[in-house]
Structure 1
Amino acid sequence: MQETDVLVIGGGPAGYVTAIRAGQLGQTVTLVDRSGVGGTCLNHGCIPSKALIDAADDVHSIRNVEDRGIEADVAVDFARLVQWKDRVVRRLTKGVEKLCKANDVTLRKGTAQLVAEHRAEVWEDGNGEPETIAFDHAIVATGSRPIELPGFSFDDEPILNAKAALDLDAIPDELAVVGAGYIGMELSTMFAKLGVDVTVVEMLEAPLPRYSADLTQPVRKRAEKLGLSFQFGRVATDWERIDNGQIRIATEPAGDETGEDAVEWLTADKALIAIGRDPVSDTAGIDALGIECDENGFVETDELGRTNIDHIFAVGDVAGEPMLAHEGSAAGVVAAETIAGAAPDPVRTVPSVVFTDPEIGSVGLTETQAREQGYEPTTGEFPFRASGRALTSGERTGFVRLVADVESGTVLGGQIVGPEASELTAEIGLAVEHELTLSDIASTVHAHPTLSEAIMEAADCALGHPIHTLDR
C-alpha cells in the first residue's frame, strides 16, 4: 500500500496547482489523473481555443486593413493550424509535468476512487488490479464535462463538442452552433473569422446571458458584421443527414408555441453543441463516502474547500460556480495551505472574461449588485473611442466602467468591453481585492499611449474631473 499525505484526484488547473502548492509546503503528494496533467483547460479548452482564436484574429486583421493602405489576402491551412495548436498544448503539459516533479509531486496516470475515508484505489489502463493508496487528506478536482443535448450524441461524427471542434482536420463551410454562452460565442466568432458560415441557435433572446446588454451588444453587432446569423428564442430538437453529405437541424420556439408549423430546418456541415458543462462527480467514489452534493451534482464545500468530511476537499469545476480555471487554481492554493496548517484567506475576487470580439471582462460588483448589497454606488465610464492607443490599433469599440462606493471611494468592481479586456481586468481586480479607491487609481501614472490609461480615465470620470472625455 502506497502512503501519501495528500492525494489529489484530477490534474487540471485546480488539481495540479493544488498538488504543487502542497508539495511546496512540505507535504508528500500523489496526483492521479486519467489522461495526464492539464485537464480540459490545458488540453481541450482554454489554451487550444485561445490559440486558434488568436490565429483567427490574425487572419481577420490581415484581410481587413485596406483602410490603412494595406491590401493582402491569406490562405488558411487549418490542419497545420491545429498541429501548431497541439504543439503549444504539448509544450505546456510537459512544463506542468516538470513543475510537479520539481515540487516532489508523484504523478500517476489512472482512475482514482475513494473507497474509505483515508483510502483510495487507483486503476491504471490495462491493469486489472487496483493499487491502494492511503492518505491523510484528499482533494477532489475531477472537473466538468460538456452537456449533451438530447438527440445530439457526441458519438455521431457531425455532432461536435468544443474539444472535437478544436481538433477538426478541415474547416467546415457551414457550422451550426447551439448555445450562445461564452464557449459558443468564442468559437462562433473564431470560425466566422476563418470564413465559415455560422448560425447560432439560442433559447434566450440575447447572447452571453450572464452579462448586461451594454456589454454584450457590441459583441453581437461585431458578430453580425462578421456574418454570424442568430436564431434567438429557439431550441434545437432533432437532426438528420441529407443526401449531399450535410445535416439539417430542426429548431422550434423555446416558448409554448409548438407543432409542425413551428419547426424550422437549418442546414450545416457540422453542429457544435455548447449548452453548458456538468460536474464530473461520479468517477471518484464520493457517493460511497457520503460526500454531499447539491441537486446538480456539484460537491458542496465551505469557503476553504472542505466537504462535509473535514479531511476531504473539492476544488475547481466539480465544486460549482464560477466554473473558471483561475478560480479553481486559487481555490486549490487555499485548500493546500489549509491542509498544511496555514490560515489562508478564502478566494474573494474572481474575474470573468470572454474572448469574443470585442472581449468582455468583469470583476467585482456591477452597479446593480452594489446597490443590492447596500452601497450607494457611483460609476465612471471611459470610451475606447477616446483612447489614443485604441485608435492606433484600429479597435475603438467599447468602454471601461468602474463601480465605487460614493462615501469611501472604494472600488467595488468594474466591467470592460473592448480590446484586451481580458488583460485590463486584472488591474481592477487588484483594486477590488485590496480595497483601493478611485483616487488610488487616478493618481497612479499610467504609461502613454496604452489601453490601461482607460482605467485611470474611468476613475477620473467617477471623481468628476475627466481629462480626455466630456463629463456628461
Structure 2
Amino acid sequence: MAYTSYDVIVLGSGPGGYVAAIRCAQLGLKTAIVERELLGGICLNWGCIPTKALLRSAEIMHFAKHAEDYGLKIAGEIEADLDAVVKRSRGVAKQLNQGVTHLMKKNKIAVHMGEGTLTGPTSLTVKGEKGEEKLTAKHVIVATGARARDLPFAKADGKRVWTYRHAMTPNEMPTKLLVIGSGAIGIEFASFYNDMGVDVTVVEMLDRIVPVEDKDVSAFLEKSLTKQGMTIMTGAGVEDIKVSGTGVKAKIKGKDGKVTETEFSHCITAIGIVPNTENIGVEKLAEMDRGFIQIDPYGRTKSKGLWAIGDCTPGPWLAHKASHEGVTCAEAIAKELGNKDVHPHPLDRNNIPGCTYCHPQIASVGLTEAKAKEAGHEVKAGTFPFIGNGKAIALGEAEGFVKTVFDAKTGELLGAHMVGAEVTEMIQGFVVGKTLETTEAELMNTVFPHPTISESMHESVLASYGRALHI
C-alpha cells in the first residue's frame, strides 16, 4: 500500500490539534489531521464547552431560586429537567463539532478518521473507516490529549462511579454526591450539582480546595461553597469505596485521622489526568516522563520531524495552552520548511491564565503571593472586595475580590487572582498586562470604564500601593 504524503500530519483534533492544523494550512502547508472519535476532541465535545453549557443552566437555576432578591416573583416550584439540560449541553457540543468540520473543509485539511499509530517520527498508519491507511509527512504533531485518572480501588463504571464524561450525561440526578478532588473539574461539577439541588460533599487530600490558586481565593471559595450548602473536607482522603446497585459506600479519613463510612448515591472522581500516549508508537521516538511527551519550548521532541503539544505534554493542562502551543509549533515547522516570514515565540507559562467556572467563578494568572515570596521577590500585594464596587452591588453579586501581586522593587506585575462574578472574562486584562510586561504605573494610569466590575482590577492595583479609593 502506497503512502499518502503531506507536509504536516496532526494526530488528534482537540483544541491543540485542530488549531495547529489550521495554522499549518494558513502557512501554505499540505496538512492532514487524524482523529479516532470526534473532531474537536475532548474539550469541545466532552470538556470545556459542554460543561459550561451545564453550568449556565445551573446559574439560571440559581438566579431563579433567588428571584425575590431582585424584586421578582416566580410562581410555583423551580425544577430542573435533567434530560433537557443535558440535551442542551450536547446540542452546543454538536454545533461546535460541526464548526470544526467546516473549518477543516474551509482550510483544505484532509481528515482521516481512525486510530493513528506512529511507525516512525514522520510516518503513521490509520485504522478506521477506510480500512488501513499509510500516511507520511515531513513533520508530525502528536496532540492526543489526556483522559481522567481512575481511582485504583474504584474504577469508573458510568453508573455509580463517574468521571467528568459520565457526569455530563447522567442517566439520573444524584441525591447525595461525593466529589473526590477539588481542582477545576471537581469543583465545577460540585457547583453544578449543588445548584441543581443535590447534597454535595467534596473531599480534597491537600489542606485547601483549588490548591493551585492563591490561598486567599481558596479560603474565600470554601466559605462561599459551604454557605451554599456543600460539605467541604480538606486534608482528607477516600480510602475505600464499595459500589452497589443503589449507591456507593465510602470510607473517608478526615484531617483528624478518624475514618468514617458514609453512603452516597453517586461519586465523581476528579483526581487528575492520564496522557493518551500508550499504544501510539511514541515511546521509542520521544523522551517520556510518566507518560507525558517531553518537548522543547516550540514542541520539538528528540526525534527530528516529530512534535507534540497539549495535554499529552507537560502542564498546565488547559485548552488555551494547547491552542497556543499549536500555533507556535505550526510556525516553527513552517520556519524549518523555509518560510522566512514567520517568527514563532516560545510559550511563557507564567502568562497562562487559569479559569474555574464554579459559582462564584475564580480566575488567575502568574504567581500567587506565596509563590512570589518563595521565588525571592519582595512583594506588594493588594486586595479589593466587590462590596466596594457599584456594578457588583447592582448585579446582586457583591461577594468576591481581586488581588494583585507586584515586585516591590521593579513594579512588575507578578500575578493576579480573582473570585466572583464574571472574573473569567476579566482576567484577560491582566494577562495582556503581563504579556506586555506592564508595571503598576501603567495599570494605575489606565482608565477603567464605569460602572463595571473591572474597576475592581484598578482598585486592587491601587490597594497594592496603599492608594485604593473606594474602600
**1:384-413 CA-partner distances (Å, limit 9, x unpaired):** 110001111111122112222333323222
Corresponding position of 2:334: 340
Matched, 1:303 2:297: yes
Corresponding position of 2:339: none
CA gap 1:439/1:255 in 2 versus in 1, 3 angstroms? closer
CA gap 1:212/1:405 in 2 versus in 1, 3 angstroms? closer
Q: Write the letter of the residue equivalent to 1:41.
A: C
Shift of residue 254, structure 1, vs aligned partner:
7.0
Correspondent of 2:191 among 189, 192, 205: 189
User: What's the RMSD between the two structures over aligned residues?
Assistant: 1.9
Shift of residue 167, structure 1, vs aligned partner:
0.5
Report the secondary structure of 1:436's partner residue: coil
Corresponding position of 2:122: 118
Matched, 1:291 2:295: no
Matched, 1:227 2:221: no
Q: Write the letter of the residue equivalent to 2:461.
A: A
Residue pair 1:358, 1:419 contacting (<8 A) in 2 also: yes
Shift of residue 433, structure 1, vs aligned partner:
0.6
1: CA distance, partners of 2:82 / 2:114: 33
Matched, 1:418 2:420: yes
CA gap 1:110/1:256 in 2 versus in 1, 3 angstroms? farther
Shift of residue 144, structure 1, vs aligned partner:
0.5
**1:36-80 CA-partner distances (Å, limit 9, x unpaired):** 211111111111111111110110111013233323342211101
Tell me how many residue pairs correspond in the alignment.
459
2: CA distance, partners of 1:86 / 1:50: 11
Corresponding position of 2:95: 91
Shift of residue 379, structure 1, vs aligned partner:
2.2
- TM-score between the two structures when normalised by the length of structure 2: 0.93
CA gap 1:435/1:144 in 2 versus in 1, 3 angstroms? same
Which residues of 2 match residues 56-135 of structure 1 at below 5 A?
56-72=58-74, 73-125=77-129, 129-135=131-137
Identity %: 35
Residue pair 2:248, 2:267 contacting (<8 A) in 1 also: no
Shift of residue 24, structure 1, vs aligned partner:
0.4
Residue pair 2:20, 2:326 contacting (<8 A) in 1 also: yes
Q: Write the letter of the residue equivalent to 2:324.
A: A
CA gap 1:328/1:42 in 2 versus in 1, 3 angstroms? same
Corresponding position of 1:319: 313
Matched, 1:264 2:268: no
1: CA distance, partners of 2:230 / 2:463: 35
Shift of residue 255, structure 1, vs aligned partner:
8.0
Residue pair 2:33, 2:109 contacting (<8 A) in 1 also: yes
Which residues of 2 match residues 196-235 of structure 1 at below 5 A?
196-235=198-237
Q: Write the letter of the residue equivalent to 1:396.
A: A
Report the secondary structure of 2:293's partner residue: coil
1: CA distance, partners of 2:162 / 2:388: 41
1: CA distance, partners of 2:42 / 2:469: 45
Residue pair 2:14, 2:143 contacting (<8 A) in 1 also: yes
Matched, 1:17 2:19: yes
2: CA distance, partners of 1:369 / 1:83: 42
Report the secondary structure of 2:468's partner residue: coil
Report the secondary structure of 2:209's partner residue: coil
Q: Write the letter of the residue equivalent to 2:81.
A: D
Residue pair 2:180, 2:267 contacting (<8 A) in 1 also: yes
Residue pair 2:202, 2:232 contacting (<8 A) in 1 also: yes
Which residues of 2 match residues 428-443 of structure 1 at below 5 A?
428-443=430-445
Shift of residue 201, structure 1, vs aligned partner:
2.4
Corresponding position of 1:146: 148
1: CA distance, partners of 2:228 / 2:414: 35
CA gap 1:366/1:250 in 2 versus in 1, 3 angstroms? closer
